[in-house]
Amino acid sequence: MLSRIKKHAGEISKLYLWLPELHRKIVLGLTLFCLLLLVLPTASSSNFQVLNMPKLDDPQYQPIAETVHETINLPDYEWIVANGDTLGELFSLFNLSSTMSKILEADKNVLTLDVINKGDKYLFWLSEIDDFSSEQVVLIKMEQVLGIEHQVAFVRKGEGFEYKETLLEGEWRQQRIIGEIKKNSSFYKSAVALGLPATDVAVIGRLLKSKINFSRSTAAGDKFQIVLSSQFIGDQPTGNTKIEGVRFFNRSNVYSAFSYKGNFFDSKGEGLERAFTRYPVKGKFRISSSFNPRRRHPITKLIRPHNGTDFAVPTGTPIYAPGDGRVKRVVRHKYAGLYIEIEHSYKYRSRFLHLSKSLVRKGQRIKRGQKIALSGNSGASTGAHLHYEFHVNKKAINAMGSKVPIAIGVDRKSMLAYKRRVSDLIELMESKDISSIKNTASHSG
Ligand SMILES: [Zn+2]
Q: Residue 38: what pLDDT? A: 46
Of the candidates 243, 398, 416, the residue with the CA atom closest to the CA atom of residue 308: 398
188 and 235 assigned to the same domain: yes
Dihedral of alpha carbons 344, 346, 347, 351, sign: positive
3-state secondary structure of 150: strand
Q: Residue 68: what pLDDT? A: 44
291 and 391 assigned to the same domain: yes
- The confidence band for 271, taking pLDDT boundaries of 50, 70 and 90, is very high
Please state whether 257 falls in left (phi above 0), alpha (psi between -120 and 50) or beta.
beta
The string of pLDDT tens digits covering residues 198-208 is 999 999 999 99
Q: 318: CA distance to ligand 1 center in Å? A: 17
For residue 370, tell me if it sits in a domain: yes
Q: How many helices (H) and strands (E) does the chain have?
A: 8, 22
Say yes or no to pLDDT of 309 above 90. Answer: yes
More confident residue, 17 or 148: 148
More confident residue, 396 or 300: 396
Helix (H) or strand (E) holding 202: helix 198-207
Q: 308: CA distance to ligand 1 center in Å? A: 5
For residue 305, tell me if it sits in a domain: yes
Q: Read off the CATH number of the domain in which 350 is found.
A: 2.70.70.10
185 and 149 assigned to the same domain: no
163 and 182 assigned to the same domain: no
Q: Residue 440: what pLDDT? A: 44
444, exposed or middle or buried, with CB in 10 Å at 0-12, 13-18, 19+? middle
297 and 373 assigned to the same domain: yes
For residue 419, tell me if it sits in a domain: yes
Of the candidates 294, 220, 283, 288, the residue with the CA atom closest to the CA atom of residue 250: 220
| Alpha carbons 140 and 378: distance in angstroms, whole number | 29
Cβ(243)–Cβ(203) below 8 Å: yes
Q: Read off the CATH number of the domain in which 159 is found.
A: 3.10.450.350
For residue 238, tell me if it sits in a domain: yes
Note the pTM of the prediction, 2 decimals. 0.77
Q: 107: CA distance to ligand 1 center in Å? A: 13
Say yes or no to pLDDT of 16 above 60. Answer: no
Q: State the residue range of the domain holding 248.
A: 171-273+410-443
260 and 296 assigned to the same domain: no
Q: Residue 87: what pLDDT? A: 87
Say yes or no to pLDDT of 338 above 50. Answer: yes
Cβ(321)–Cβ(276) below 8 Å: no
Q: Residue 433: what pLDDT? A: 65
From 13-27, 189-203, 284-298, 345-359, the region with the lowest mean pLDDT: 13-27
| Alpha carbons 276 and 324: distance in angstroms, whole number | 8
HEC string of 234-263?
CCEEEEEEEEEEEEEEECCEEEEEEEECCE
The string of pLDDT tens digits covering residues 191-238 is 999 999 999 999 999 999 889 988 888 889 999 999 999 999 999 999
More confident residue, 419 or 283: 419
345 and 415 assigned to the same domain: no
- The confidence band for 340, taking pLDDT boundaries of 50, 70 and 90, is very high
For residue 16, tell me if it sits in a domain: no
Q: 152: CA distance to ligand 1 center in Å? A: 20
Q: 310: CA distance to ligand 1 center in Å? A: 5
Q: 195: CA distance to ligand 1 center in Å? A: 42
Q: Residue 86: what pLDDT? A: 87
Say yes or no to pLDDT of 278 above 60. Answer: yes
DSSP structure class, residue 55: P
Q: Residue 322: what pLDDT? A: 96
Q: 97: CA distance to ligand 1 center in Å? A: 26
Q: What string of DSSP letters covers 171-188?
A: EEEEEEEEEEPPTT--HH
199 and 162 assigned to the same domain: no
Q: 64: CA distance to ligand 1 center in Å? A: 27
3-state secondary structure of 33: helix
The string of pLDDT tens digits covering residues 135-189 is 567 899 999 999 999 999 999 998 899 999 999 999 999 999 999 999 989 999 9
Q: 351: CA distance to ligand 1 center in Å? A: 11
107 and 140 assigned to the same domain: yes
Q: Residue 83: what pLDDT? A: 86
Cross-sheet strand order for the sheet of 139-147: 5-7, 77-80, 121-126, 139-147, 150-157, 160-167
Q: 215: CA distance to ligand 1 center in Å? A: 43
| Alpha carbons 367 and 362: distance in angstroms, whole number | 14
Q: 388: CA distance to ligand 1 center in Å? A: 7
- Domain finish residue from 127, 145, 167: 167
CB under 8 A, 24+ apart: contacts of 251-256:
253/212, 255/208, 255/211, 255/212
| Greatest mean pLDDT among 29-33, 76-80, 190-194 | 190-194
Residue 79 burial (CB count, 10 A) = 21
Q: What string of DSSP letters covers 215-239?
A: TTT--TT-EEEEEEEEEEETTEEEE
Q: 121: CA distance to ligand 1 center in Å? A: 29
Q: 165: CA distance to ligand 1 center in Å? A: 19
350 and 388 assigned to the same domain: yes
Rounded mean pLDDT of the chain? 82
The string of pLDDT tens digits covering residues 50-76 is 333 333 333 333 333 344 444 547 898
Q: Residue 259: what pLDDT? A: 95
Of the candidates 398, 418, 423, 396, the residue with the CA atom closest to the CA atom of residue 408: 418
In the chain, how many domains are there? 3
The string of pLDDT tens digits covering residues 105-143 is 999 999 999 888 888 899 999 886 555 555 567 899 999
Say yes or no to pLDDT of 275 above 60. Answer: yes
318 and 347 assigned to the same domain: yes
Share of the chain above pLDDT 90, in %: 57
Burial pattern 97-128, b for ≥16 Cβ within 10 A else e, equals eebbebbbbbbbbbbbbeebeeeeebbbbbbe
**CA torsion, points 30, 35, 39, 42, in degrees to nearest 10?**
40
For residue 68, tell me if it sits in a domain: no
Q: 402: CA distance to ligand 1 center in Å? A: 19
For residue 64, tell me if it sits in a domain: no
Q: 142: CA distance to ligand 1 center in Å? A: 25
Backbone phi, psi, residue 193, to 5°:
-60, -25
Cβ(280)–Cβ(321) below 8 Å: yes
Of the candidates 316, 309, 331, 323, the residue with the CA atom closest to the CA atom of residue 389: 309
Cβ(91)–Cβ(161) below 8 Å: no
Q: 293: CA distance to ligand 1 center in Å? A: 11
For residue 59, tell me if it sits in a domain: no
| Alpha carbons 31 and 18: distance in angstroms, whole number | 16
Cβ(177)–Cβ(445) below 8 Å: no
Q: Residue 311: what pLDDT? A: 96
Q: Residue 127: what pLDDT? A: 81
| Alpha carbons 398 and 404: distance in angstroms, whole number | 8
What mean pLDDT is predicted for residues 237-262? 94
291 and 392 assigned to the same domain: yes
Q: 387: CA distance to ligand 1 center in Å? A: 4
